[in-house]
Structures are given as structure tokens and as C-alpha cells.
């Protein structure tokens, strides 16, 4: 009886959002952040090159593409969905961006069209999931396959160069430029996270996203149009993939038809490492940032330590497995 | 004659309720024992104790003359006690034979001996006098035929006792007839059968003895021949109403809701009306179509024909959103399944339907406004929670229910539909919910109270509609109604006075 009441009490404590700093529950909740700081501390100790401004900014810039996609992925996963099509959306919208720039379309207009295309491509998955009542895994597997095909047709299987015009130079600033000494992709990443955080925590749509993932029937019976929410999250996920495609295309000054292969899995890994449940209903956008940074810094550290890329994959797999096991243990 | 299976003085308690209180049941070989009682009388709990899903707190189970304790359904099945549930436990994509011997297929060196399997199944089906091809895919059979397969499966375990839980619920009349023929054969072959049903007529057709439960207690075991339908009903409900229902009489307002010839999934040509300030009770057995009717009125299920009028305006109901906007709120019968989002906080759940009222036109949540509104309801409803940001899963059933009701009321509806508002709620919180309901009617809200708890529905309602198989079978004013009349109408017993 007494042990019973103790467990209830600690469970209550765990799940309440008002958690004392540095308490046991707080440490558990912030375990991904702690893991990230630990990782940075350990690697700084081993490799002196690691903890330099240059290396930090470089790693953050490299992480930005995955981190931005992971913002959209977080929203999809909170609704208990999944989006496998982000890599394919990235490839196709990147191809659109490159060809628009090559045809000397104004950079701002080209960017807007590219973002819009990402939004529409994502919405396609959303409509299949919502209206077609197809499981998200299958629905986005279909759009992924279809969009990979469309990309090959559109690019003819060859890279599309943005060309050597002034327009192309302006465009490439989005991937290679600096603002206040910080690479532009990092600024973009930070703004996307700020917007994502605001959307999820301070808007009605955000609240509905959590509700949908927590209990779809209850959400529908509460008078919420659940199909609309589903279409919104997949559209936003497509949008984040398009933003990532602009950074990649701008950085390389060309669009590769095979760009973004496997990016969906990296994004999902970042979301899971950030503590978002694949069952839906729970998750924090800042957890995803930390998850993406863990993957980024881990790769960077292993590079600096001269570990071959084959072993890097093993290391990444172990970290994800460990994170999920720890998460389940404490549930 | 000694019973083959004897459960005596069984007690079983759950955190807020004593489900079985000195309950007993005897099963005799070659006889059919009916087990009857209201919803919540403890029939299902007794079956779970019998098959080892629950262990009793007190009491003895004697099987074939020896005291036994079953460790679980598999254990009891291996020893010859099979239960056929309302929802059949069969796999649609496998054949009849594969289903019956699932996990026990005759094999040699790991290869299934198909010829032997089909021969065995043929033999089983012959014992039941039914002619199916054992190779038929189960999904191609009707529900009644699938039930026969379940019975054959029970026989394959050499079952001495077969329990049937509401077996005729999903059957057509002809299927029911063939089921009864099979039960007759099983009886002649010396099996002991427990027959659980709400349909009293069937009990007189097929059963030898009746055991009656009420409120978890054993009331009586007697031969069917000693009883009439009326006597059974009286014994099932025989409870006196106490004054736990704080009924208030108020002047009823204008006609508010009108439902005309409404039909839809599980609902057949239902009409009724409701005035503001009125409490209209909906009584009936599980599966009578009450929840289905409410979900039609709430726009969650497609309306096939008929119309719903609110304040004399015909509503175009395509989704719960339409109903809520028009002024109809629905509080679900099942908090966990579709009433609450258990992973969210008290605040987030309560404001879910009316979030738009705390938002700027651009959809930004005004957290302070939301917090104040939620606090108002926490105080008004006396919801016990450490704070608004508590995850709702951690609250007691009664407090969860209060949050669910608050979610509906916050929307300030004209019509509030409460579907089983006190299910799984302890006595204290029940009382508070009744007082809240009375408060709402004083405020002029029209209330539909769907409840399987008869004293509750008699104690709270101004009028009571009884449903049976998707139709309205009777309507009573609160003065006319009695538990016996409600039960008679709920089981579809025709009496001249009502028609």
C-alpha cells in the first residue's frame, strides 16, 4: 500500500510540467541536453581542435540541413505520423531552385517558388494520409518513390548547375554567406526552430497537433478538424525540406538528382534522440535541436578523431539505441 | 445432483468498487444455466474470476469436486472450461480448421499434417451437426457461422463447461435458431453451459436454471420453470431508490432540441424533443443504440435520414465541429478512448473545444485568459488537481470526468449530452456531478442523460426514453417510470399499456 502511494507520487512528479531545476526528474527530462554537453566536454578534452569557434560554427552549419528538416519531422511525429518523403521533396525542390536560378529568375522569387513547391509536395502526403486514410508510413513511402521518379525525369538524371551569373552568386550566399560572423544556414536554422517552437507552444494549431497525436478520436469529438491538422503538419514538413534544399543547392551551386538520400532517417533519428515519442502526443522542438546537434557533433568528433566513416555509422546507431532504451526504462 | 463447477462466496474488489460481494454460481453437466443481471451486476467479473483472468479476494472455486485456482484463460481452457466472448477471438484470414487448431496443429517433423487436421475438424463439426468445409476462409462466414466455429473450438479442448457471453447479440433469427439447436445437442452430450444474456425470452427457450446477480451479489438460483419474465426483472433491479439524487424542480423553458425520424448506423427512426432546463434520460441495455444516436446528433456519424432541429433551425451536421458551433456538446461515455487526451494537461484538455475563444485572430493563444477560464471551472467543479498543468492521466476517475464535462460546458452549449457521466466515478464525485447537472439546468441548459444506472436515470430525469435495438421502445414521465418498466422496455418486452 505504502509503496503504491510512493510510485503514484513520483509519477505525478515526473509528468508535471512544473519541475524543479536539477531535481532527479529534471535531470531525466533534460537527459539529451546533458548527453550533448557531456559529448562536447569529453571530445574537447581528447581533441584540442574540437572546441574552437571555427569548428563549432562549421559543425553547426553542417547540422543545419538535418536540423531544419527535423523541425517539420517533429511536428509530423507528434501527430503520431511519419514522413519518409522529406529527402525526395528536398531533391525535387532543390532541382526547381537550381533551374529557376539558372534561368535568371530573381532570387527572392525563386526562393518563394521553391518553398511553395515544398509546401505543396508535403501537402500531397498530408492529403493521402488525411483524406485517403492511408497509414503515414505507406503514404509517404508512395510520395517518396513518386517524387524520386519525378526528380529523375525533371533533371534527366544529371545535376543542374545554378550557372555563373550574378543571380547565382546572390543565391549561393544563402548557403555560403556569413552574417555577423556566423554562417547564414545557422541563422536560418535558428529562425526555423524559433518559429517551430512558437507554433507548437503558443498557437491553437500547435495545441491541436499535440491533441491529435495524443488521441485522435477525442480530438475529433472536441470539434477539431483533424484532417486539416494532418494536412498542415505534412505541408510544413515539406516546407522545411524545401528550406533545407535551398541551403544545399546554394552551397553547392547545383542541384543533385540524388540529393537527400536517407535524410528522412537522419531527421527521424534527431527527433527520437530529442525525446519525442513515435507514439505521438509528446515531444519538444528544443529536444529535436539537441538531438540534431548530438548527431552533428558526434560525426564531427569522430572525424577529428580519425574514425572511419564506416565506424561512424555504428557509433550513430549505438547512440540512438541507447537513447531509446534509456527513454523506455524510465517510462 | 452435484454441480461440475461451483463458485462459492466469491469477493472481488477494485480500487473504487466492490464488483463481487459473496457471489456464487453453479454449473451442472447436461444443463444450461442462465446468468442474468443489469449492466455492472458483476457477470463479466465473475467470468473473469472463473477463467483465471482475475484472482478472487475470497471464495472457493470447485471443479469436478476439487478446489482449483486457474492461472489464466489458457489454464482454465486446458482443464476444460471454454468461454465464447461477444467479440469472437478468431483470425479472419485463416481457414476454419487453422482457427480451431491454432497453435495445436498436428505435425510430423514440423510439417502440418493437413489431412489429419481436416479430418479432425470434420469430426468436430459433425458433432455439432453442421456442414462447413474446414478449408473455408473464416472471413467468408457470417457472424453466426463464426460463432459455431468458436463452439467447435471449445469442443476441441474437450470442454466440459462452455460459457457463452451474449451469444445472440449479433445473430439473425435463423442463426439464433441454429445456435439453440447446437446448445440443445451440447446439453444432450453432457456439457455444462453458462448462458449470459439480456434477452429474457431466450432464457425461457433454452435454459434450465437461472442465477440472478445484482450489484455484485448473488440473489437467487432457481429453475426457469419457477419464474416469469416479470419476476426475473424484479429480482434483477430490486433495489430501492434512496435520496442520493438531489432533484430540483424548475420551470421548463421553450422547446430547444427536436429530433425527427433520425436513422443512421445502429439507430432506426428515432424521434424526441427536449426543452431547455429539462433533463431527458436515455435508458437501455448496452448496444441498444443510445451512444450511436448521440453521435448522430453530435455530427460524428453520418445521418442516413431524418433531421435535427435546434431552436427550430434545421442543422447541417457533418462533424462534431458543426454540432459544437450550433450549440450541442457531447461528453463521451469512454473517457480514455475518446473523451480525453490523456497525455495532455488538465488545462489543455479542458480548453480543447473552446480554444478559439482564448486566441487572437491569428491563432496565438492568450495564455492568461485561458488560465483564468480554466481556473474558474476548476473552482466551480471542485476538481482536485495539484495544478492546471498536471497531466490528466494522474487524476482520479471522478476528477477526469469533471474535466471532460467542463470541456463541454465551457463551450456554453444549449444542449449538453452526457453519456454515462458517472461510469467509473466514486460515490462522492458522483454526488457532485449530480449537483453540477442540476446547476446547468437552472442555467437553462437542456440536458440529455444517457445512463445504464437505473436509479441514477430515475432519480435525475424529468422524462425517460428507453431504447432497444436502435429504436425508441418506450417513453415515460418521471412519475410513471419504475425500474421494472424501464427494464421491461429495455429487453423489448411488449406490454399493452405502452403501445
Q: What is the pLDDT of residues B121-138, one digit of tens each?
A: 998 888 887 888 999 999
* pLDDT for residue B16: 60
| Gap between the Cα atoms of B38 and B491, Å rounded | 11
CB A171 within 8 A of CB A110: yes
> Which residues of chain A make contact with B364, given a CB cutoff of 8 A?
202-204
For residue A11, the model assigns a pLDDT of 35
Contact A202 B389 (CB under 8 A): no
B332/A contact by beta carbon, under 8 A: yes
Compute the distance between CA of residue A116 and CA of residue B235 in angstroms, rounded to an integer. Answer: 70
Interchain contact B201–A (C-beta under 8 A): no
Closest residue of chain A to B298, computed from CA coordinates: A221
User: Residues A226, A220: contact at Cβ < 8 Å?
Assistant: yes
Whether the CB-CB separation of B236 and B41 falls below 8 Å is answered with yes
- pLDDT at residue B339 is higher than 60: yes
Mean pLDDT of B135-156: 88
Pairwise CA distance, residues B428 & B317, whole Å: 37
Residue of chain A with shortest Cα separation from B343: A214
In chain A, residues with a C-beta closer than 8 Å to the C-beta of B346 are: none
Q: Which residue has the higher pLDDT, B241 or B474?
A: B474
pLDDT of residue A5: 36
What angle, 0 to 180 degrees and rounded to 10, lies between the N-to-C axes of helices A86-102 and A107-130?
150
User: HEC string of chain A?
Assistant: CHHHHHHHHHHHHHHCCCCCCCCHHHHHHCHHHHHHHHHHHHHHHHCCCCCCHHHHHHHHHHHHHHHHHHHHHHHHHHCCCCCCCHHHHHHHHHHHHHHHHHCCCCHHHHHHHHHHHHHHHHHHHHHHHHCCCCCHHHHHHHHHHHHHHHHHHHHCCCCEECCCCHHHHHHHHHHHCEECCEEHHHHHHHHHHHHHHHHHHHEHHHHHHHHHHHCHHHHHHCCCCHHHHHHHHHHHHHHHHHHHHHHHHHHHCEECCCCCCCHHHHHHHHHHHCCCCCCCCCCCHHHHHHHHHHHHHHHHHHHHCCCCHHHHHHHHHHHHHHHHHHHHHCC
- The pLDDT value recorded for residue B214 is 86
Q: Mean of the pLDDT values across residues B431-457?
A: 90
pLDDT over 70 for what percent of chain B? 96
Give the pLDDT of residue A237.
Answer: 97
Closest-CA distance of chain A to residue B234, Å: 38
Among A13, A211, A223, pick the best mutation site for testing chain B contact (most B Cβ within 10 A). Answer: A223
Residue pairs spanning A and B at CB distance below 8 A: 97
With helix as H, strand as E and coil as C, how does B115-154 read?
A: HHHHHHHHHHHHHCCCCCCCCCEHHHCCHHHHHHHHHHHH
Least confident of A184-198, B30-44, B244-258: B244-258
The CA distance from B485 to B495, in Å, is 9
CA distance A200 to chain B (A): 10
* DSSP label at residue B371: H
Quick one: cell of B363? Answer: 491563432
Residue A12: list chain B partners with CB under 8 A: 386, 390, 394
Distance, in Å, from the CA atom of B113 to the CA atom of A152, rounded to the nearest integer, reads: 52
Q: What is the pLDDT along chain A (331 residues), one digit of tens a residue?
A: 333 333 333 333 333 445 677 777 777 777 888 888 988 888 888 888 888 888 999 999 999 999 999 999 999 999 999 999 999 999 999 999 999 999 989 999 999 999 999 999 999 999 999 999 999 999 999 999 999 999 999 999 999 999 888 899 999 999 999 999 999 999 999 999 999 999 999 999 999 999 999 999 999 999 999 999 999 999 999 999 999 999 999 999 999 999 999 999 999 999 999 989 888 998 999 999 999 999 999 988 888 888 888 888 888 888 888 888 877 775 5
Separation CA B470–CA B24 (nearest Å): 34
* pLDDT above 70 (res B244): no
Q: Taking all residues of chain B, what is their mean pLDDT, rounded to a whole number?
A: 88
DSSP string, B47-61: HHHHTTSS--SEEEE
In this complex, is the C-beta atom of B365 within 8 Å of any C-beta atom belonging to chain A?
yes
Chain B nearest CA to A321, separation (Å): 24
- Choose the mutation target among A221, A229, A283 for the interface with B, i.e. most B CBs under 10 Å: A221
d(CA A121, CA B11): 61
The predicted pLDDT at position B42 comes to 85
List of chain B residues whose C-beta atoms are within 8 Å of the C-beta of residue A215: 338, 340-343
CA distance A220 to chain B (A): 7
Among B377, B379, B382, which residue's Cα sits nearest to residue B429? Answer: B382
If you measure CA to CA, which chain A residue comes closest to B408? Answer: A222
Contacts of A225 in chain B (CB under 8 A): 319, 321
Residue A168: alpha-carbon gap to chain centroid: 27
| Residue B75 cell numbers, joined | 489454464
Give B-chain residues touching A15 at CB under 8 angstroms: 390-391, 393-394
The radius of gyration computed from the CA coordinates of chain B, to the nearest angstrom, equals 25
**Binary contact (A211, B320; C-beta < 8 A):** no
Give the chain A residue nearest B367 (alpha carbons). A202
Question: Which of A202, A219, A222 comes nearest B364 by C-beta?
Answer: A202
Residue with cell 468458436: B150
**Is B363 in the A-facing interface, judged by CB distances under 8 Å?**
yes
CB-nearest partner of B364 from A18, A203, A220: A203
Cβ atoms B392, B403 nearer than 8 A = yes
3-state secondary structure of B458: helix
CA–CA distance, A59 with A40 (Å, rounded to integer): 12
Residue A7 CB coordination number (10 Å): 9
Stretch among A98-102, B37-41, B282-286 having the lowest mean pLDDT: B37-41
Residues B481, B472: contact at Cβ < 8 Å? no
Residues A215, B343: C-beta atoms closer than 8 Å: yes
CA atoms within 13 A on the CB side of A123: 8
Flag if B330 and A221 touch (Cβ within 8 Å). Answer: yes
* CA B331/CA A215 separation, integer angstroms: 15
Residue A34 is predicted with a pLDDT of 86
Q: Do B321 and A223 touch (CB under 8 A)?
A: yes
What is the predicted pLDDT for the residue at B175? Answer: 82
Out of A12, A16, A214, closest to residue B343 by CB:
A214
Backbone φ and ψ of A253, nearest 5°: 55, 25
End-to-end CA distance of chain B: 45
Neighbours of B44 (CB within 10 A): 18
Indicate whether B198 pLDDT > 80: no
Angle at A166 between CA A165 and CA A171, to 5 degrees: 95
> Mutation test of the interface with chain B: which of A202, A212, A218, A275, choosing the one with the most B Cβ atoms within 10 A?
A218
The model's pLDDT over B168-187, given as tens digits with 9 standing for 90+, comes to: 877 777 888 888 998 999 99
Amino acid at each position: 500500500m505504502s509503496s503504491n502511494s510512493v510510485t503514484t507520487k513520483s509519477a505525478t512528479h515526473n509528468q508535471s510540467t512544473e519541475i524543479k531545476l536539477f531535481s532527479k526528474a529534471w535531470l531525466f527530462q533534460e537527459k539529451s541536453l546533458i548527453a550533448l554537453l557531456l559529448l562536447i566536454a569529453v571530445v574537447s578534452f581528447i581533441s584540442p581542435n574540437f572546441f574552437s569557434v571555427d569548428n563549432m560554427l562549421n559543425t553547426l552549419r553542417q547540422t543545419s540541413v538535418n536540423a531544419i528538416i527535423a523541425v517539420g519531422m517533429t511536428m509530423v511525429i507528434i501527430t503520431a505520423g511519419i514522413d519518409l518523403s522529406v529527402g525526395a521533396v528536398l531533391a525535387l525542390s532543390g532541382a526547381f531552385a537550381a533551374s529557376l536560378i539558372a534561368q535568371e529568375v530573381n532570387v527572392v522569387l525563386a526562393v518563394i517558388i521553391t518553398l511553395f513547391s515544398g509546401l505543396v509536395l508535403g501537402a500531397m502526403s498530408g492529403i493521402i494520409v488525411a483524406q485517403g486514410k492511408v497509414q503515414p508510413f505507406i503514404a509517404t513511402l508512395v510520395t517518396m518513390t513518386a517524387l524520386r521518379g519525378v526528380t529523375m525525369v525533371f533533371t534527366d538524371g544529371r545535376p543542374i548547375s545554378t550557372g555563373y551569373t550574378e543571380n547565382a552568386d546572390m543565391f549561393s550566399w544563402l548557403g555560403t554567406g556569413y552574417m555577423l560572423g556566423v554562417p547564414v544556414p545557422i541563422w536560418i536554422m535558428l529562425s526555423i526552430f524559433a518559429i517551430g517552437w512558437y507554433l507548437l507552444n503558443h498557437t491553437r494549431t500547435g495545441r491541436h497537433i499535440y491533441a491529435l497525436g495524443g488521441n485522435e478520436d477525442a480530438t475529433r469529438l472536441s470539434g477539431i478538424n483533424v484532417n486539416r491538422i494532418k494536412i498542415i503538419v505534412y505541408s510544413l514538413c515539406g516546407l522545411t525540406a524545401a528550406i533545407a534544399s535551398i541551403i544545399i543547392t546554394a552551397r553547392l551551386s547545383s542541384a543533385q538528382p540524388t540529393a537527400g538520400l536517407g535524410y528522412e532517417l537522419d531527421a527521424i533519428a534527431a527527433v527520437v534522440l530529442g525525446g519525442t515519442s513515435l507514439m505521438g502526443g509528446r515531444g519538444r522542438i528544443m529536444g529535436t535541436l539537441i538531438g540534431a546537434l548530438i548527431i552533428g557533433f558526434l560525426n564531427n568528433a569522430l572525424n577529428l578523431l580519425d574514425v572511419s566513416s564506416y565506424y561512424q555509422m555504428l557509433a550513430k546507431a549505438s547512440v540512438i539505441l541507447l537513447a531509446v532504451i534509456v527513454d523506455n526504462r524510465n517510462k | 445432483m452435484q454441480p461440475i463447477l461451483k463458485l462459492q462466496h466469491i469477493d472481488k474488489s477494485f480500487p473504487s468498487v466492490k464488483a463481487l460481494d459473496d457471489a456464487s454460481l453453479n454449473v451442472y453437466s447436461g444443463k444450461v444455466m442462465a446468468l442474468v443481471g443489469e449492466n455492472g451486476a458483476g457477470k463479466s467479473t465473475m467470468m473473469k474470476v472463473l477463467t483465471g483472468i482475475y484472482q478472487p479476494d475470497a471464495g472457493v472455486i470447485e471443479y469436478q469436486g476439487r478446489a482449483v485456482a486457474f492461472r489464466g484463460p489458457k489454464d482454465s481452457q486446458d482443464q476444460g472450461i471454454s468461454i465464447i466472448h461477444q467479440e469472437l477471438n478468431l483470425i479472419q484470414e485463416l481457414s476454419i480448421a487453422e482457427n480451431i487448431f491454432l497453435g495445436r496443429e498436428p505435425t510430423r517433423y514440423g510439417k502440418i499434417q493437413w489431412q489429419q487436421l481436416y479430418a479432425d475438424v470434420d469430426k468436430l463439426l459433425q458433432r455439432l451437426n453442421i456442414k462447413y468445409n474446414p478449408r473455408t476462409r473464416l472471413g467468408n462466414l457470417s457472424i453466426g457461422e463464426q460463432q459455431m466455429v468458436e463452439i467447435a473450438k471449445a469442443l476441441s479442448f474437450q470442454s466440459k463447461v462452455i460459457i457463452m457471453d451474449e451469444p445472440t447479440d449479433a445473430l439473425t433469427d435463423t442463426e439464433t435458431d441454429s445456435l439453440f439447436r447446437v446448445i440443445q445437442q451440447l446439453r444432450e452430450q453432457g456439457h455444462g453451459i453458462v448462458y449470459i444474456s439480456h434477452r429474457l425470452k431466450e432464457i425461457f427457450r433454452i435454459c434450465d436454471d437461472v442465477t440472478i446477480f445484482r450489484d455484485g451479489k448473488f440473489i437467487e438460483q432457481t429453475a426457469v420453470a419457477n419464474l416469469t419474465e416479470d419476476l426475473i426483472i424484479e429480482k434483477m433491479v430490486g433495489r430501492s431508490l434512496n435520496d442520493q439524487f438531489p432533484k430540483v424542480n424548475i420551470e421548463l423553458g421553450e422547446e430547444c432540441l427536436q429530433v425527427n425520424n433520425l436513422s443512421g448506423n445502429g439507430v432506426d427512426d428515432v424521434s424526441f424533443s427536449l426543452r431547455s432546463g429539462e433533463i431527458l434520460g436515455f435508458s437501455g441495455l448496452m448496444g441498444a443504440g443510445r451512444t450511436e444516436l448521440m453521435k448522430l446528433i453530435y455530427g460524428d456519424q453520418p445521418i442516413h435520414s431524418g433531421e435535427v432541429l435546434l431552436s427550430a433551425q434545421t442543422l447541417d451536421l457533418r462533424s462534431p465541429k458543426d454540432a459544437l458551433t450550433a450549440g450541442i456538446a457531447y461528453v463521451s461515455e469512454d473517457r480514455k478512448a475518446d473523451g480525453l487526451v490523456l497525455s495532455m494537461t488538465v488545462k489543455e484538455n479542458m480548453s480543447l473545444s473552446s480554444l478559439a475563444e482564448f486566441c487572437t485572430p491569428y491563432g496565438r493563444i492568450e495564455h492568461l485568459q485561458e488560465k483564468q477560464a480554466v481556473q474558474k471551472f476548476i473552482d466551480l467543479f471542485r476538481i482536485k488537481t495539484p495544478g492546471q498543468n498536471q497531466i490528466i492521466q494522474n487524476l482520479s476517475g471522478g476528477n477526469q470526468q469533471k474535466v471532460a464535462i467542463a470541456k463541454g460546458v465551457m463551450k456554453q452549449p444549449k444542449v449538453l449530452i452526457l453519456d454515462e457521466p458517472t461510469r467509473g466515478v466514486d460515490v462522492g464525485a458522483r454526488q457532485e456531478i449530480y449537483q453540477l447537472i442540476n446547476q446547468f439546468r437552472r442555467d437553462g441548459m437542456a440536458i440529455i442523460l444517457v445512463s445504464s444506472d437505473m436509479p441514477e436515470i430515475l432519480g435525475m430525469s424529468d422524462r425517460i426514453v428507453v431504447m432497444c435495438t436502435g429504436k425508441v421502445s418506450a417513453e415515460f414521465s418521471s412519475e410513471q417510470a419504475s425500474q421494472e418498466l424501464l427494464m421491461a422496455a429495455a429487453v423489448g418486452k411488449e406490454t399493452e399499456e405502452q403501445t
